[in-house]
Amino acid sequence: MIYILLSDSFLPYIPRWREFYGFKRTESIIQNLKTKDKRYITPNTLKISSNQLFSLIEKRGFILQHTKVFDAFLIKKAPYNIVSTPEYLTGLFSIHVLTSIIPPFSLELQKNDLVIDMAAAPGIKTSLLAQKLRNRGIIIAIEKSKARIPALRANISRLGVKNTIILFLDSMKLSFNDIMADHILLDAPCSGTGLKVEKNKRSSPRKMRDILRNTIIQKRLLEVGWNHLKPRGTLVYSTCSLEPEEGEIQIHNFLNRHTDEVEVLPISFDIGIAGNQTNWKFPLNSQLSKTKRIFPDSGIDGFFVALLRKVGQ
């Protein structure tokens, strides 16, 4: 009964989710995918502290609640659209799902690092990288969609990001053989099955073959990113998909292709479960225990994230 409340495009996935995550977890996924997403804001620490932001926004009649895992606030009551506030226009905060925070904040950045963001629009994760770098170092923000570049440019301008080079480029074709990054952020294109139904803006329903197509793109992006990573550098890989082929299995296969070259590092956020707990046809690489499988919840999309360090030569 509950399934008819979901978009039709999700129906083929439900038996799969039961297989991977169990019956009870799948029921919870379905419940959460159809809930209305709540709005969260995070302070732009290039301009303001968390406490200052809280005080300013509450003075305008908004009621905020600090979240447990992230430095972010849930908007509990909004007298009007928060985008209309001077604080938003002056770039004191950004609005996004909480899972966006995990990939950029999983990287241990030093002030002069070179970071490549391989799929940068709309720029929220890029701006979080800039905050971690305190606007130092250099971020190469790559976006292949011409239509999405204005949003990327507007967001990083509004948020006061100054350490960025924006490139209009398909990251799959990246071949800077003389440019190696300290860190790579790859929030890869995916089927988006972890997104709340209300955010499902696709014109055509997702099909099973989309997963296969996406895994090919993700594999290529992972290899290109890895080739542009310095020894000892780190690559954070994430998708907003609930499909293991786009998460756990993608990383399992990557580890098999790069035996002895990769150390999987733990994700410091206390959220989700270890990636190796997902049921699959064969046992997953033990290093998957340090990745995170995150299920949809309030302010949180279904998500997978892995942090990989290049070891050896």
What's the CA gap between 57 and 226, in Å, rounded? 41
Q: Do 10 and 193 form a contact (C-beta atoms < 8 A)?
A: yes
Catalytic residue among 124, 240, 262, 265: 240
Per the listing, tokens 């956020």 go with 269
Pairing mode of beta strands 63-66, 73-77: antiparallel
Determine if 260 is a binding residue for other proteins (CB under 8 A).
no
From 43, 91, 103, 296, residue interacting with other proteins (rule: CB under 8 A): 91
The nearest distance, CB 108 to other proteins, in angstroms, is 21
Q: How far apart are the first and last CA of the chain?
A: 55
Determine if 201 is a binding residue for other proteins (CB under 8 A).
no
What's the CA gap between 145 and 283, in Å, rounded? 37
Q: Which of 154, 137, 163, 166 is nearest to 91 (CA)?
A: 154
Determine if 146 is a binding residue for other proteins (CB under 8 A).
yes
The nearest distance, CB 191 to other proteins, in angstroms, is 27
Cβ closer to other proteins: 69 or 89?
Answer: 89
Cβ closer to other proteins: 138 or 273?
Answer: 138
Determine if 95 is a binding residue for other proteins (CB under 8 A).
no
Determine if 61 is a binding residue for other proteins (CB under 8 A).
no
Active site residue 240: yes
Q: Is 240 helix (H, G, I), strand (E, B) or coil?
A: coil
What's the CA gap between 247 and 264, in Å, rounded? 14
Determine if 58 is a binding residue for other proteins (CB under 8 A).
no
- Positions in the binding site for other proteins (CB under 8 A): 47-48, 56, 83, 86, 89-92, 114, 138, 140, 146, 149-151, 153-155, 157-158, 160, 162-169, 175-176, 178-179
For the annotated catalytic residues, the residue numbers are 240
